[in-house]
Amino acid sequence: MKQISVFLENRPGSLYEVLYKLKEEGINLRALSLADTAEFGVLRFIAENPEEIVEKLKKENFAATLTEVLAVGIEDRPGGLAEVVGILTHQNISIEYLYAFVSPQGERAYVVLRVEKLAEAEKILRENHIPILDKLTI
């Protein structure tokens, strides 16, 4: 699955400018995380038609990029996330970052993972019967 990342300057209004643009374009965010450092931030999100969104953002002078990430479904219970991370850890696969959210209807939670060895991670998760999503339609 493709994630969109946008560079944010560390100043009031920089997040709003991106969100306003997305609103104008009628883009619905499926999942989102905001990473920050003392100097700047990075907004990461999942939405439909990511290629198109990135082109639109670039036209508006945002630094935006696409990244291949894994979205996996896990059971919404204690230890659900630990199980997935455990599988990757045993295979020595490093996780760059992840963000998670629960589905309002079901008993599932979803995790978006950015890992170093994506193909390998995907394979090992499938082998362990962890559902990999190719679309976030909740």
Partner 1 sequence: MRTTPLWDEYYELLPREELEKIQLSRLKKVLIRAYHNLPYYRNKLEERKINPYDINSLSCLSHLPFTTKEDLRQAYPFGAIAEPLRNVVRVHSSSGTTGTATVVGYTKKDIESWSELAARALSSYGVDEEDIIQVSFGYGLFTGGLGIHYGAENLGATVVPASAGNTLRQIQIMKDLQITVLACTPSYALYLAEVARENNINWKESSLRIGVFGAEPWSEEMREDIEKRLPIRAFDIYGLSEVIGPGVAFECETKEGLHISEDHFLPEIIDPQTGRTLPPGEEGELVFTTLTKEGTPVIRYRTGDISSLNYETCACGRTLVRMKRVFSRTDDMLIIRGVNVYPSQIESVILSFEGVEPYYQIVLTRENFLDQIEVQVEVAPQFFSDQIKVLEGLKKQIEEKLKTELNLSCEVKLLEPKSITRSEGKSKRIIDLRKKEEIS
| Interaction residues for partner 1, span 100-129 (CB under 8 A) | 114
Which of 10, 9, 17, 5 lies closest to 43 in space, CA to CA? 5
Task: Considering the complex, state which of residue 19 and residue 102 has its C-beta at the smaller distance from partner 1.
Answer: 19
Q: Smallest Cα–Cα separation from 123: which of 87, 99, 98?
A: 87
Q: How far apart are CA 83 and CA 80, in angstroms?
A: 5
| Beta carbon nearer to partner 1, 20 or 40 | 40
Max alpha carbon distance in the chain (Å)? 45
CB of 84 to partner 1, least distance (A): 20
Are the beta carbons of 110 and 72 closer than 8 angstroms? Answer: yes
Interacting residue with partner 1 among 16, 23, 34, 35 (CB under 8 A): 35
Neighbours of 44 (CB within 10 A): 19
Instruction: Return the residues of window 36-75 that contact partner 1 according to CB under 8 A.
Output: 37, 39-40, 42, 44, 58, 61-65, 67
Q: Which of residues 86-105 bind partner 1 (CB under 8 A)?
A: 96-97
Backbone angles phi, psi at 58, to 5 degrees: -60, -35
Stretch that binds partner 1, among 8-16, 22-30, 83-91, 125-133 (CB under 8 A): 8-16
Residues near partner 1, by CB under 8 A:
3, 5, 7-9, 14, 35, 37, 39-40, 42, 44, 58, 61-65, 67, 96-97, 114
